[in-house]
Structure 1
Amino acid sequence: MTSTPAHPPRARRVLFVHQNFPGQFKRIAAHLARDPAYEVLAIGKEGCPGLPDVRTLSYKLHRAQSKETHHYARPFEAGILHGQACLRVLLALKEKGFVPDVIIAHPGWGDTMFVREAFPDARLVHFSEFYYHTAHADVGFDPEFPSTIDDRARVRAKNALQLLNLEACDIAVAPTRWQKSLHPGPYQDKIALIHEGIDTSYLRPDPDASFTLPNGKVLRPGDPVVTYVSRNLEPYRGFHTFMRALPAILADNPGCDIVLAGGAGVSYGARPADAANWRDKLLAEVDIDTSRVHFLDRIAYARYRALLQVSAAHVYLTYPFVLSWSMLEAMACGCLVIGSDTAPVTEVIRAGENGLLVDFFDTAAIAATVGMALREQARFAPLRARAVEAIKAGYAVEEGIAGYRRLIDAQTL
């Protein structure tokens, strides 16, 4: 009697949804795409970067928010429009026979608002990046930009979408303990703590690194180089405070070069009312030697890594808000990070152990700490080494992938 050969198990179908795919899902999506045990697909807004090995479908809004909509409700209307556009793609997928087992999504723009109408049985994993508060977080933190009652009402209304997202998903993911803690108590048990991870095999110290400035000067490890990096140069990331510290840094450290990498747009908050961008506004305010302060705009990733590898003092300032990848990447590259004493920075940096902390608003303290870091590089070498180890131990990409795999492969939640 011959036995009938068993059919090989069907590949597990995983659908990623992110307005700017891959976003936070770059590592886990690429990892799964290389594994034949998974069939991976993604949905993003038209123009999203995508990934080479992941088929990405795009959606397009059929209209913008109405100008007549109350401004408190515009984010919610935008969420409905994104959810509706994404739903059309989901239904088209369903019609073609693709039914995902797991959907991993960043729902912050509303993309997955109606996902249950298309795929009610799929496990829905939401990336819960930030839950808004009218106090004790980013809103009202900076006295230079005081919040009004109108601001606070608008921010409170923004959580309508966040609550729907928490209610709809099977499980949520937050990248830091502090970001998780901002979400309402009844949902805390529903939120897993998983950081997507830093590629420590690529982002690591290199004593032979070099970085060439636009003027031709070559910077190397050990040189008095001060670095500051942000997607955009703006107050949320302390750009105004850092710029106001520059005159003292330059005066006290005549041999140093200061390198700022970041765009002139706005990721968070608003543009200045009296200038084209925050860089122009602050350059008009502070008196600095522009031959020693180098603005690079956004730079290629390999150059970004080299810049971190030659840094003697890396300044990272942020409102109590979403933690930037750049701070963790700087630590992975062996930077001495001078970070603001704000959450969630203090969740990672322990003052005097793997980095240094300063008051976000204290320009004199920032300048003094930078000067100390430049003059006493040997003294701070152990902190740099421990920064590398901290990222390897707690934020390596392998840990992030393993965390997401546990959610994807689980048979029950």
Structure 2
Amino acid sequence: MQGFAAQSGSIISPQVTEAAAIYMKILFIHQNFPGQYKHLAPLLARQGHQCVALTLRVKEATTWQGVRVLPYALPERDGQKLHPWLVDLDTKVTRGGACYRAASRIRDAGFEPDLILAHPGWGESMFLRDVWPKARMGLYCELYHHAGFPHLNFDPEFASKSPEVEPLRIRMKNLNNHLHFEFAHAGISPTAFQADTFPAPFRKRITLSHDGINTVQACPAPDVRLTIEGQCDVTRKDEVITFVNRNLEPYRGYHIFMRALPRLLRERPNATVLIVGGDEVSYGARAPKGKTWKQIFIDEVRDQISDADWERVRFLGRIPYDQFLRLLQVSRVHVYLTYPFVLSWSLLEAMSCGAAIVAGDTEPVREVIRDDETGRLVDFFDGDALVDQVCDLLDDPGARKRMGETARKMIRAKYDLQTICLPRQIDWVKDVMDQPL
């Protein structure tokens, strides 16, 4: 698996020098480790703690930045008939059971963690305190699902086909959260919007700390050049408009951006539009069978765009992180749209790079974008307002510079990885360990 380098060592412990002090034994649980523990886990390992991770991401035991990374596998199962509302819970219990069996094996091999740090979203950590009842547990609290507006049916175009029963399904979806609340000691959440979705009794146990933005790496670069063979070769002298999703889908406003694209291209005849994102689905409903959201909305607008204008649109797919940062650094205006949902790291990274932002006015976005200070806000559904604001900023270098500088200053003050977020996360780890069993 890319990003993990196999090293020697026992099945549980990476090789350490005799001088290294092991203060705590820490188990990380994340389906796609390191995920949100990308910075925290290596730091704890460097501090001398014995760090182990269980994940589906690797097939063989390996060591990554001082963390022993162990695989677990899902069992083969015969198909079974389930009530549709139970499919989500069934998947999570399956993963929880598989992780429980893997945890039992490493317990029997002698590993007794003092602390379990888990992203519970896939159910993996559901039974781990049955294996280690004396371990403290801290949860990464990404989201608690709400059945009311705007969490549900925010976008009328993709509203539930059964609005009277959809709240019931959503309530069942939270069973995994509630099963964790009973035995977890504390939680951590990257934004207030996400933390505030959780019920009050558990919300009181959640610390706010973003995963952190490396503002040294994600920084303005006046002389940057982004070259992707066969796709683009642009610098800060070019009029570049950027749009980024992990996957191009409605939850992140891809349809809104695409519908605004014909007019945007007509208004800006010298602009190059760079679109980053995959063809899969991260959130929300899948596209109709045999189709992708990317192609659906290309097909919807393509006949409104001349061939010459279409040549200025580049779909880059998923690109390496160094190219991604250069894309943000070269961007003259960066567009960000999202339903009321988890805030994307890419927005904060764009702000850290000093990009001028035009963003959809939803609650999680308002946490970091103050209108005309750190960016411009427009109604999520208003494509014409989006084009107006992008064009206004493209014609106003002073406003772009002012807002880009203010945005970067805010990210450095509140979301900087080394000076703000990692110290806060370490304090949180200590706080979890101070909780009574």
TM score, norm. by length of structure 2: 0.89
Q: What is the match of residue 3 of structure 1?
A: none
Q: What is the match of residue 279 of structure 1?
A: 294
What SS does the aligned partner of 1:352 have? coil
1:257 to 256, 272, 279: 272
**Equivalent residue runs for 1:178-217 within 5 Å:** 178-215=193-230, 217=232
Alignment pair present for 1:221 and 2:232: no
Which of 143-152 and 290-299 deviates more?
A: 143-152
Looking at structure 1, the residues matched to 230 and 331 of structure 2 have their Cα atoms a distance apart, in angstroms, of 18
Q: What is the match of residue 170 of structure 1?
A: 185
Shift of 1:190: 1.1
Shift of 1:110: 0.6
Does the C-alpha gap of structure 1 residues 169 and 255 become closer, same or farther in structure 2, counting only changes over 3 Å? Answer: same
Alignment pair present for 1:118 and 2:138: no
Shift of 1:139: 1.7
Deviations 1:145-184 (A, max 9, x none): 1122343321111011111122221001111111111111
The CA RMSD measured in Å over matched residues stands at 1.9
Q: Do the aligned partners of 1:65 and 1:77 also contact (CA within 8 Å) in 2?
A: no
Alignment pair present for 1:344 and 2:364: yes
Does the C-alpha gap of structure 1 residues 304 and 64 become closer, same or farther in structure 2, counting only changes over 3 Å? Answer: farther
Does the C-alpha gap of structure 1 residues 53 and 290 become closer, same or farther in structure 2, counting only changes over 3 Å? Answer: farther
TM score, norm. by length of structure 1: 0.94
- Whichever residue aligns with residue 176 of structure 2, its letter is L
1:16 to 10, 28, 47: 28
What SS does the aligned partner of 1:90 have? helix
Looking at structure 1, the residues matched to 369 and 115 of structure 2 have their Cα atoms a distance apart, in angstroms, of 34
Does the C-alpha gap of structure 1 residues 64 and 402 become closer, same or farther in structure 2, counting only changes over 3 Å? Answer: farther
Which of 365-374 and 314-323 deviates more?
A: 365-374
Shift of 1:66: 4.2
Q: Do the aligned partners of 1:222 and 1:377 also contact (CA within 8 Å) in 2?
A: no
Q: Do the aligned partners of 1:204 and 1:334 also contact (CA within 8 Å) in 2?
A: yes
Shift of 1:64: 5.0
The percentage of aligned residue pairs carrying the same residue is: 39
Alignment pair present for 1:383 and 2:396: no
Which of 57-66 and 354-363 deviates more?
A: 57-66
- Whichever residue aligns with residue 359 of structure 1, its letter is D
- Whichever residue aligns with residue 54 of structure 2, its letter is I
Does the C-alpha gap of structure 1 residues 22 and 274 become closer, same or farther in structure 2, counting only changes over 3 Å? Answer: closer
- Whichever residue aligns with residue 265 of structure 2, its letter is L
Looking at structure 2, the residues matched to 64 and 376 of structure 1 have their Cα atoms a distance apart, in angstroms, of 59
Does the C-alpha gap of structure 1 residues 267 and 373 become closer, same or farther in structure 2, counting only changes over 3 Å? Answer: same
Alignment pair present for 1:404 and 2:425: yes
Deviations 1:200-237 (A, max 9, x none): 11111111111124446421124211000110000000
Deviations 1:355-410 (A, max 9, x none): 11111100000011111111112332011001111111111112221122112234
**Equivalent residue runs for 1:356-371 within 5 Å:** 356-371=376-391
Matched residues, number: 406
What SS does the aligned partner of 2:130 have? helix
Q: Do the aligned partners of 2:232 and 2:314 also contact (CA within 8 Å) in 1?
A: no
1:308 to 314, 328, 335: 328
Shift of 1:311: 0.2
Looking at structure 2, the residues matched to 299 and 9 of structure 1 have their Cα atoms a distance apart, in angstroms, of 39
Alignment pair present for 1:295 and 2:315: yes
Looking at structure 1, the residues matched to 21 and 318 of structure 2 have their Cα atoms a distance apart, in angstroms, of 45
**Equivalent residue runs for 1:61-210 within 5 Å:** 61-64=74-77, 66-147=79-160, 148=162, 149-210=164-225
Does the C-alpha gap of structure 1 residues 64 and 336 become closer, same or farther in structure 2, counting only changes over 3 Å? Answer: farther
Q: Do the aligned partners of 1:65 and 1:78 also contact (CA within 8 Å) in 2?
A: no
Q: What is the match of residue 329 of structure 1?
A: 349
What SS does the aligned partner of 1:77 have? helix
Uncovered stretches (5+) of structure 2, i.e. residues with no partner: 1-18
Q: Do the aligned partners of 1:203 and 1:332 also contact (CA within 8 Å) in 2?
A: yes
Does the C-alpha gap of structure 1 residues 64 and 233 become closer, same or farther in structure 2, counting only changes over 3 Å? Answer: farther
Q: What is the match of residue 14 of structure 2?
A: none
Uncovered stretches (5+) of structure 1, i.e. residues with no partner: 1-6
